[in-house]
Structure 1
Protein backbone atom coordinates (compact mmCIF):
# COMPACT_ATOMS: atom_id res chain seq x y z
CA UNK A 1 0.00 0.00 0.00
CA UNK A 2 1.12 3.56 -0.66
CA UNK A 3 1.48 6.36 1.82
CA UNK A 4 -1.86 7.99 2.62
CA UNK A 5 -0.27 11.37 2.08
CA UNK A 6 -0.01 10.63 -1.66
CA UNK A 7 -3.13 12.14 -3.14
CA UNK A 8 -6.56 12.94 -1.66
CA UNK A 9 -7.81 12.10 1.80
CA UNK A 10 -10.18 9.24 2.65
CA UNK A 11 -11.53 7.49 -0.44
CA UNK A 12 -15.20 6.53 -0.96
CA UNK A 13 -16.36 3.16 0.30
CA UNK A 14 -15.19 0.33 -1.91
CA UNK A 15 -12.21 2.23 -3.35
CA UNK A 16 -8.60 1.10 -2.89
CA UNK A 17 -5.33 3.01 -2.82
CA UNK A 18 -2.67 0.84 -4.47
CA UNK A 19 0.79 1.32 -5.91
CA UNK A 20 0.90 0.92 -9.69
CA UNK A 21 3.34 -2.00 -9.30
CA UNK A 22 0.57 -3.89 -7.46
CA UNK A 23 -1.58 -3.77 -10.59
CA UNK A 24 0.82 -4.45 -13.43
CA UNK A 25 4.27 -5.42 -14.60
CA UNK A 26 6.65 -3.05 -16.38
CA UNK A 27 8.84 -3.58 -19.42
CA UNK A 28 11.06 -0.95 -21.05
CA UNK A 29 11.13 -1.16 -24.83
CA UNK A 30 14.13 -2.67 -26.66
CA UNK A 31 16.91 -0.81 -28.44
CA UNK A 32 16.50 -1.04 -32.21
CA UNK A 33 19.34 0.23 -34.41
CA UNK A 34 18.76 2.21 -37.57
CA UNK A 35 19.76 -0.66 -39.83
CA UNK A 36 17.26 -2.91 -38.02
CA UNK A 37 14.37 -0.70 -39.03
CA UNK A 38 12.29 -0.89 -42.16
CA UNK A 39 8.85 0.07 -43.44
CA UNK A 40 6.06 -1.20 -41.19
CA UNK A 41 4.61 -3.27 -44.03
CA UNK A 42 7.96 -4.98 -44.62
CA UNK A 43 8.47 -5.92 -40.97
CA UNK A 44 6.80 -5.72 -37.56
CA UNK A 45 5.34 -2.24 -36.84
CA UNK A 46 7.18 -0.23 -34.18
CA UNK A 47 5.35 2.25 -31.93
CA UNK A 48 7.36 5.45 -31.44
CA UNK A 49 6.86 7.96 -28.59
CA UNK A 50 5.47 10.53 -31.01
CA UNK A 51 2.76 8.03 -31.98
CA UNK A 52 1.24 8.28 -28.48
CA UNK A 53 -1.30 11.09 -28.87
CA UNK A 54 -4.54 11.79 -26.96
CA UNK A 55 -4.43 8.39 -25.21
CA UNK A 56 -4.31 6.65 -28.57
CA UNK A 57 -1.60 5.08 -30.74
CA UNK A 58 -1.59 7.05 -33.99
CA UNK A 59 1.48 6.23 -36.13
CA UNK A 60 2.97 9.39 -37.62
CA UNK A 61 4.97 7.38 -40.15
CA UNK A 62 5.36 3.79 -41.28
CA UNK A 63 8.21 2.37 -39.17
CA UNK A 64 8.88 -1.29 -38.46
CA UNK A 65 11.53 -3.76 -37.32
CA UNK A 66 13.06 -6.13 -39.87
CA UNK A 67 11.66 -9.67 -39.44
CA UNK A 68 15.02 -11.25 -38.48
CA UNK A 69 15.46 -8.79 -35.58
CA UNK A 70 11.79 -8.90 -34.61
CA UNK A 71 12.02 -12.65 -33.96
CA UNK A 72 14.55 -11.97 -31.19
CA UNK A 73 12.23 -9.40 -29.60
CA UNK A 74 9.17 -11.57 -29.07
CA UNK A 75 9.05 -10.83 -25.35
CA UNK A 76 8.45 -7.17 -26.21
CA UNK A 77 5.40 -7.89 -28.36
CA UNK A 78 2.35 -5.83 -27.47
CA UNK A 79 -1.01 -7.36 -26.60
CA UNK A 80 -4.47 -5.81 -26.54
CA UNK A 81 -5.04 -4.18 -23.16
CA UNK A 82 -1.39 -3.23 -22.59
CA UNK A 83 -0.73 0.41 -21.73
CA UNK A 84 2.21 2.36 -23.16
CA UNK A 85 3.71 5.26 -21.19
CA UNK A 86 6.42 7.64 -22.42
CA UNK A 87 9.35 7.41 -20.00
CA UNK A 88 11.73 10.06 -21.39
CA UNK A 89 11.18 13.50 -22.86
CA UNK A 90 7.43 14.14 -22.73
CA UNK A 91 7.12 11.94 -19.66
CA UNK A 92 3.71 10.49 -18.85
CA UNK A 93 1.86 10.53 -22.16
CA UNK A 94 0.05 7.22 -22.44
CA UNK A 95 -2.18 5.09 -24.65
CA UNK A 96 -3.91 1.73 -24.52
CA UNK A 97 -3.00 -0.96 -27.03
CA UNK A 98 -5.95 -2.13 -29.13
CA UNK A 99 -6.39 -5.25 -31.20
CA UNK A 100 -4.99 -3.32 -34.17
CA UNK A 101 -1.56 -3.10 -32.50
CA UNK A 102 -1.54 -6.67 -31.15
CA UNK A 103 1.91 -8.16 -31.84
CA UNK A 104 3.57 -4.82 -32.61
CA UNK A 105 6.81 -3.73 -30.95
CA UNK A 106 7.52 -0.49 -29.10
CA UNK A 107 10.37 2.00 -28.79
CA UNK A 108 12.97 1.97 -26.00
CA UNK A 109 11.67 5.30 -24.66
CA UNK A 110 8.36 3.68 -23.77
CA UNK A 111 7.20 1.57 -20.83
CA UNK A 112 4.83 -1.32 -21.47
CA UNK A 113 2.41 -1.80 -18.59
CA UNK A 114 0.65 -5.17 -18.50
CA UNK A 115 -2.01 -5.94 -15.90
CA UNK A 116 -1.19 -8.95 -13.73
CA UNK A 117 -4.81 -10.01 -14.19
CA UNK A 118 -6.31 -9.05 -17.60
CA UNK A 119 -9.28 -6.73 -17.15
CA UNK A 120 -10.45 -4.48 -20.03
CA UNK A 121 -12.33 -2.12 -17.72
CA UNK A 122 -9.30 -1.69 -15.46
CA UNK A 123 -7.02 -1.09 -18.47
CA UNK A 124 -9.34 1.65 -19.78
CA UNK A 125 -9.58 3.17 -16.31
CA UNK A 126 -5.80 3.07 -15.92
CA UNK A 127 -5.28 5.04 -19.14
CA UNK A 128 -7.75 7.64 -17.91
CA UNK A 129 -6.06 7.72 -14.51
CA UNK A 130 -2.53 8.06 -15.88
CA UNK A 131 -3.59 10.94 -18.12
CA UNK A 132 -5.35 12.81 -15.28
CA UNK A 133 -3.77 15.89 -13.71
CA UNK A 134 -2.79 14.24 -10.41
CA UNK A 135 -0.91 11.33 -12.03
CA UNK A 136 0.71 13.57 -14.64
CA UNK A 137 1.94 15.99 -11.97
CA UNK A 138 3.22 13.08 -9.84
CA UNK A 139 5.21 11.62 -12.73
CA UNK A 140 6.66 14.96 -13.83
CA UNK A 141 7.84 15.80 -10.31
CA UNK A 142 9.63 12.49 -10.01
CA UNK A 143 11.24 12.38 -13.42
CA UNK A 144 15.00 12.79 -13.26
CA UNK A 145 15.67 16.12 -14.94
CA UNK A 146 19.10 16.26 -16.53
CA UNK A 147 19.14 17.32 -20.15
CA UNK A 148 16.06 15.18 -20.86
CA UNK A 149 13.48 14.30 -18.16
CA UNK A 150 13.30 10.56 -17.48
CA UNK A 151 11.14 8.36 -15.26
CA UNK A 152 12.51 5.14 -13.76
CA UNK A 153 10.67 1.85 -13.40
CA UNK A 154 10.99 2.12 -9.62
CA UNK A 155 9.48 5.60 -9.54
CA UNK A 156 6.61 4.72 -11.84
CA UNK A 157 5.89 1.60 -9.79
CA UNK A 158 5.32 3.75 -6.70
CA UNK A 159 2.63 5.88 -8.38
CA UNK A 160 -0.46 5.71 -6.14
CA UNK A 161 -3.57 4.57 -8.00
CA UNK A 162 -7.07 5.10 -6.59
CA UNK A 163 -9.09 2.12 -7.80
CA UNK A 164 -12.92 2.21 -7.60
CA UNK A 165 -15.23 -0.81 -7.62
CA UNK A 166 -15.59 -2.57 -11.03
CA UNK A 167 -18.85 -0.91 -12.09
CA UNK A 168 -17.59 2.56 -11.18
CA UNK A 169 -14.22 2.19 -12.93
CA UNK A 170 -15.95 0.84 -16.05
CA UNK A 171 -18.21 3.91 -16.16
CA UNK A 172 -15.25 6.25 -15.57
CA UNK A 173 -13.16 4.59 -18.26
CA UNK A 174 -15.99 4.76 -20.82
CA UNK A 175 -16.73 8.41 -20.02
CA UNK A 176 -13.10 9.49 -20.40
CA UNK A 177 -12.64 7.38 -23.56
CA UNK A 178 -15.65 9.10 -25.13
CA UNK A 179 -14.19 12.52 -24.31
CA UNK A 180 -10.79 11.45 -25.69
CA UNK A 181 -12.50 10.53 -28.96
CA UNK A 182 -14.11 13.97 -29.15
CA UNK A 183 -10.71 15.57 -28.56
CA UNK A 184 -9.19 13.48 -31.37
CA UNK A 185 -12.00 14.42 -33.77
CA UNK A 186 -11.63 18.13 -33.03
CA UNK A 187 -7.84 17.88 -33.34
CA UNK A 188 -8.25 16.28 -36.77
CA UNK A 189 -10.72 18.99 -37.83
CA UNK A 190 -8.23 21.65 -36.69
CA UNK A 191 -5.42 19.94 -38.64
CA UNK A 192 -7.45 19.67 -41.85
CA UNK A 193 -8.68 23.26 -41.50
CA UNK A 194 -5.10 24.44 -40.99
CA UNK A 195 -3.97 22.62 -44.15
CA UNK A 196 -6.86 24.18 -46.08
CA UNK A 197 -6.00 27.63 -44.74
CA UNK A 198 -2.37 27.29 -45.86
CA UNK A 199 -3.36 26.14 -49.34
CA UNK A 200 -5.94 28.93 -49.65
CA UNK A 201 -3.42 31.56 -48.50
CA UNK A 202 -1.00 30.47 -51.25
CA UNK A 203 -3.71 30.90 -53.89
CA UNK A 204 -4.88 34.26 -52.55
CA UNK A 205 -1.41 35.73 -52.07
CA UNK A 206 -0.31 34.83 -55.61
CA UNK A 207 -3.43 36.15 -57.31
CA UNK A 208 -4.45 32.67 -58.47
CA UNK A 209 -7.74 33.14 -56.59
CA UNK A 210 -9.66 36.30 -55.71
CA UNK A 211 -11.24 36.82 -52.32
CA UNK A 212 -13.75 39.27 -53.82
CA UNK A 213 -17.10 38.12 -55.18
CA UNK A 214 -18.10 39.26 -58.65
CA UNK A 215 -21.62 40.71 -58.23
CA UNK A 216 -21.98 41.96 -61.84
CA UNK A 217 -24.34 39.11 -62.65
Structure 2
Protein backbone atom coordinates (compact mmCIF):
# COMPACT_ATOMS: atom_id res chain seq x y z
CA UNK A 1 0.00 0.00 0.00
CA UNK A 2 1.32 3.41 -0.96
CA UNK A 3 2.26 5.59 2.08
CA UNK A 4 -0.07 8.50 2.75
CA UNK A 5 1.27 12.03 2.42
CA UNK A 6 0.93 14.14 5.56
CA UNK A 7 2.27 17.61 6.27
CA UNK A 8 4.95 17.68 8.95
CA UNK A 9 2.99 20.23 10.95
CA UNK A 10 0.14 17.71 11.30
CA UNK A 11 2.50 15.05 12.67
CA UNK A 12 4.69 17.12 14.96
CA UNK A 13 4.89 20.16 17.18
CA UNK A 14 7.32 22.50 15.42
CA UNK A 15 8.72 25.12 17.82
CA UNK A 16 10.56 28.13 16.37
CA UNK A 17 14.01 29.00 17.61
CA UNK A 18 14.71 31.11 20.71
CA UNK A 19 15.95 34.67 20.32
CA UNK A 20 19.67 34.96 19.62
CA UNK A 21 19.83 37.47 22.50
CA UNK A 22 19.48 34.53 24.89
CA UNK A 23 22.92 33.21 23.90
CA UNK A 24 25.17 36.23 24.31
CA UNK A 25 26.83 34.61 27.35
CA UNK A 26 27.11 31.11 25.90
CA UNK A 27 30.53 29.59 26.71
CA UNK A 28 32.38 26.44 27.69
CA UNK A 29 33.09 27.95 31.12
CA UNK A 30 29.46 28.65 32.07
CA UNK A 31 27.84 26.45 34.72
CA UNK A 32 24.20 26.37 33.60
CA UNK A 33 22.09 24.77 30.87
CA UNK A 34 23.82 22.94 27.96
CA UNK A 35 22.89 24.25 24.50
CA UNK A 36 22.77 22.17 21.31
CA UNK A 37 24.20 24.16 18.39
CA UNK A 38 24.72 23.17 14.73
CA UNK A 39 28.37 22.42 15.53
CA UNK A 40 27.25 19.67 17.94
CA UNK A 41 25.24 17.72 15.33
CA UNK A 42 27.14 14.77 13.82
CA UNK A 43 26.73 13.13 10.38
CA UNK A 44 25.22 10.13 12.21
CA UNK A 45 22.29 12.36 13.32
CA UNK A 46 23.49 12.39 16.92
CA UNK A 47 24.54 15.11 19.36
CA UNK A 48 28.24 15.29 20.18
CA UNK A 49 28.31 15.88 23.93
CA UNK A 50 32.07 16.41 24.21
CA UNK A 51 32.17 20.18 23.78
CA UNK A 52 28.66 21.47 24.49
CA UNK A 53 28.64 25.08 25.58
CA UNK A 54 26.42 26.28 28.40
CA UNK A 55 24.46 29.28 29.55
CA UNK A 56 25.03 30.80 32.99
CA UNK A 57 22.91 29.31 35.78
CA UNK A 58 21.21 32.71 36.10
CA UNK A 59 19.73 32.54 32.57
CA UNK A 60 15.93 32.67 32.45
CA UNK A 61 13.16 32.07 29.89
CA UNK A 62 14.41 28.63 28.90
CA UNK A 63 11.46 26.34 29.63
CA UNK A 64 9.76 26.68 26.24
CA UNK A 65 12.95 25.49 24.52
CA UNK A 66 13.78 22.42 26.62
CA UNK A 67 14.55 19.18 24.80
CA UNK A 68 13.34 15.70 25.68
CA UNK A 69 13.99 12.20 24.38
CA UNK A 70 12.53 11.68 20.90
CA UNK A 71 12.75 15.35 19.89
CA UNK A 72 14.53 16.29 16.68
CA UNK A 73 16.83 19.32 16.39
CA UNK A 74 17.02 20.68 12.84
CA UNK A 75 19.46 23.37 11.68
CA UNK A 76 17.49 26.27 10.20
CA UNK A 77 20.25 28.84 9.64
CA UNK A 78 23.35 28.42 7.50
CA UNK A 79 23.88 24.66 7.07
CA UNK A 80 20.14 24.10 6.74
CA UNK A 81 18.89 20.53 7.05
CA UNK A 82 21.40 18.97 9.43
CA UNK A 83 19.42 17.03 12.02
CA UNK A 84 19.89 15.15 15.29
CA UNK A 85 17.67 12.87 17.35
CA UNK A 86 17.66 13.68 21.07
CA UNK A 87 18.37 10.76 23.44
CA UNK A 88 16.57 10.37 26.76
CA UNK A 89 19.77 11.36 28.58
CA UNK A 90 19.85 14.73 26.84
CA UNK A 91 16.77 16.13 28.56
CA UNK A 92 16.91 19.57 30.21
CA UNK A 93 19.13 20.84 27.42
CA UNK A 94 17.89 23.57 25.08
CA UNK A 95 18.52 24.26 21.40
CA UNK A 96 20.29 27.23 19.84
CA UNK A 97 18.69 30.07 17.88
CA UNK A 98 20.15 28.53 14.69
CA UNK A 99 17.91 25.47 15.15
CA UNK A 100 14.26 24.42 15.29
CA UNK A 101 12.76 21.77 17.56
CA UNK A 102 10.51 19.08 16.09
CA UNK A 103 8.49 17.03 18.61
CA UNK A 104 6.82 14.06 16.85
CA UNK A 105 3.41 12.67 17.80
CA UNK A 106 4.70 9.15 18.53
CA UNK A 107 1.22 7.65 18.08
CA UNK A 108 1.56 8.49 14.37
CA UNK A 109 5.25 8.73 13.53
CA UNK A 110 8.38 7.04 14.86
CA UNK A 111 11.12 9.60 15.75
CA UNK A 112 13.96 7.43 14.37
CA UNK A 113 12.08 6.97 11.10
CA UNK A 114 11.32 10.68 10.87
CA UNK A 115 14.93 11.72 11.54
CA UNK A 116 16.12 9.43 8.75
CA UNK A 117 13.33 10.60 6.43
CA UNK A 118 14.27 14.26 6.92
CA UNK A 119 17.92 13.40 6.19
CA UNK A 120 17.04 11.50 2.99
CA UNK A 121 18.65 13.45 0.08
CA UNK A 122 15.46 13.96 -2.02
CA UNK A 123 13.68 15.25 1.11
CA UNK A 124 16.62 17.52 1.94
CA UNK A 125 16.44 18.92 -1.61
CA UNK A 126 12.73 19.60 -1.13
CA UNK A 127 13.48 21.27 2.20
CA UNK A 128 16.19 23.44 0.67
CA UNK A 129 13.83 24.56 -2.08
CA UNK A 130 11.86 26.41 0.62
CA UNK A 131 14.88 28.15 2.14
CA UNK A 132 14.92 31.94 2.08
CA UNK A 133 18.14 32.82 0.29
CA UNK A 134 20.06 35.85 1.54
CA UNK A 135 23.40 36.55 3.17
CA UNK A 136 22.71 33.43 5.24
CA UNK A 137 20.18 30.75 4.13
CA UNK A 138 17.17 30.59 6.50
CA UNK A 139 14.39 28.03 6.91
CA UNK A 140 11.25 29.21 8.68
CA UNK A 141 9.06 27.14 10.98
CA UNK A 142 6.11 27.77 8.64
CA UNK A 143 7.94 26.30 5.64
CA UNK A 144 8.98 23.29 7.70
CA UNK A 145 5.41 22.62 8.86
CA UNK A 146 4.28 22.53 5.21
CA UNK A 147 6.83 19.87 4.23
CA UNK A 148 5.04 16.71 2.97
CA UNK A 149 5.97 13.45 4.71
CA UNK A 150 5.47 10.05 3.05
CA UNK A 151 4.08 8.09 5.99
CA UNK A 152 3.97 4.28 6.01
CA UNK A 153 1.88 2.56 8.67
CA UNK A 154 3.43 2.74 12.14
CA UNK A 155 4.42 -0.95 12.20
CA UNK A 156 6.51 -0.51 9.05
CA UNK A 157 8.03 2.69 10.42
CA UNK A 158 9.20 0.83 13.52
CA UNK A 159 10.69 -1.98 11.45
CA UNK A 160 12.55 0.59 9.38
CA UNK A 161 13.62 2.43 12.55
CA UNK A 162 15.25 -0.73 13.91
CA UNK A 163 17.27 -1.20 10.74
CA UNK A 164 18.13 2.51 10.57
CA UNK A 165 19.35 2.51 14.18
CA UNK A 166 21.78 -0.29 13.32
CA UNK A 167 23.02 1.69 10.31
CA UNK A 168 23.50 4.79 12.50
CA UNK A 169 25.46 2.74 15.03
CA UNK A 170 27.79 1.42 12.34
CA UNK A 171 28.24 4.97 10.96
CA UNK A 172 29.23 6.18 14.42
CA UNK A 173 31.75 3.35 14.80
CA UNK A 174 33.29 4.10 11.40
CA UNK A 175 33.57 7.83 12.15
CA UNK A 176 35.46 7.03 15.37
CA UNK A 177 37.79 4.69 13.46
CA UNK A 178 38.47 7.36 10.83
CA UNK A 179 39.22 9.96 13.51
CA UNK A 180 41.65 7.54 15.19
CA UNK A 181 43.40 6.74 11.90
CA UNK A 182 43.78 10.44 11.09
CA UNK A 183 45.43 10.97 14.48
CA UNK A 184 47.77 8.01 13.85
CA UNK A 185 48.74 9.42 10.43
CA UNK A 186 49.57 12.83 11.89
CA UNK A 187 51.51 11.19 14.69
CA UNK A 188 53.71 9.35 12.19
CA UNK A 189 54.87 12.64 10.68
CA UNK A 190 55.75 14.02 14.11
CA UNK A 191 57.58 10.83 15.12
CA UNK A 192 59.64 10.56 11.91
CA UNK A 193 60.21 14.21 11.00
CA UNK A 194 60.01 15.90 14.39
CA UNK A 195 58.46 19.30 15.03
CA UNK A 196 60.71 21.21 12.63
CA UNK A 197 60.56 21.15 8.83
CA UNK A 198 63.29 22.37 6.43
CA UNK A 199 63.26 26.14 6.01
CA UNK A 200 60.68 26.79 8.70
CA UNK A 201 63.09 27.63 11.51
CA UNK A 202 64.97 30.10 9.30
CA UNK A 203 61.78 31.91 8.31
CA UNK A 204 60.55 32.29 11.88
CA UNK A 205 60.90 35.88 13.25
CA UNK A 206 63.73 36.38 15.73
CA UNK A 207 62.56 35.89 19.28
CA UNK A 208 59.43 33.96 18.27
CA UNK A 209 58.37 31.18 20.60
CA UNK A 210 59.09 27.65 19.44
CA UNK A 211 56.02 25.54 18.71
CA UNK A 212 56.58 23.51 21.86
CA UNK A 213 56.59 26.67 23.98
CA UNK A 214 53.54 28.41 22.53
CA UNK A 215 50.94 28.57 25.32
CA UNK A 216 47.84 26.62 24.51
CA UNK A 217 44.48 28.28 24.84
CA UNK A 218 41.03 26.77 24.76
CA UNK A 219 39.35 27.17 21.39
CA UNK A 220 36.09 29.03 21.83
CA UNK A 221 35.31 30.24 18.30
CA UNK A 222 33.21 27.22 17.40
CA UNK A 223 30.47 27.56 14.81
CA UNK A 224 27.13 28.47 16.42
TM-score (norm 1): 0.82
SS where residue 25 of structure 1 aligns? strand
Contact 2:77 2:136 in 1 (8 A): yes
Question: What does residue range 1-217 of structure 1 map to in structure 2 within 5 Å?
Answer: 13=1, 15-30=3-18, 31-33=20-22, 35-39=24-28, 42-53=31-42, 54-59=44-49, 61-69=51-59, 71-115=60-104, 117-119=105-107, 122-206=110-194
Contact 1:128 1:177 in 2 (8 A): no
Alpha carbons of structure 1 residues 207 and 106: separation in structure 2 relative to 1, 3 Å: closer
What's the offset of the Cα at 1:153?
1.2
Tell me the distance in 2 between the aligned counterparts of 1:60 and 1:120. 33
Q: Unmatched 5+ residue regions in structure 2?
A: 197-224
What do the CA deviations read for 1:13-50 (whole angstroms, capped 9, x no partner)? 26221010110111123225555324477211111111
Alpha carbons of structure 1 residues 18 and 33: separation in structure 2 relative to 1, 3 Å: closer
What's the offset of the Cα at 1:157?
1.1
Contact 1:81 1:120 in 2 (8 A): no
Tell me the distance in 2 between the aligned counterparts of 1:175 and 1:76. 30
Aligned match of 1:8: none
Alpha carbons of structure 1 residues 174 and 41: separation in structure 2 relative to 1, 3 Å: farther
Q: CA RMSD in A?
A: 2.2
More strand by share: 1
Number of residues paired by the alignment?
Answer: 194
TM-score (norm 2): 0.79
Alpha carbons of structure 1 residues 192 and 103: separation in structure 2 relative to 1, 3 Å: same
Contact 2:31 2:56 in 1 (8 A): yes
What do the CA deviations read for 1:57-87 (whole angstroms, capped 9, x no partner)? 1135231111221x42111110111111000
SS where residue 6 of structure 2 aligns? strand
Tell me the distance in 1 between the aligned counterparts of 2:37 and 2:195. 42
Spell out structure 1 runs of 4+ moving beyond 6 A: none
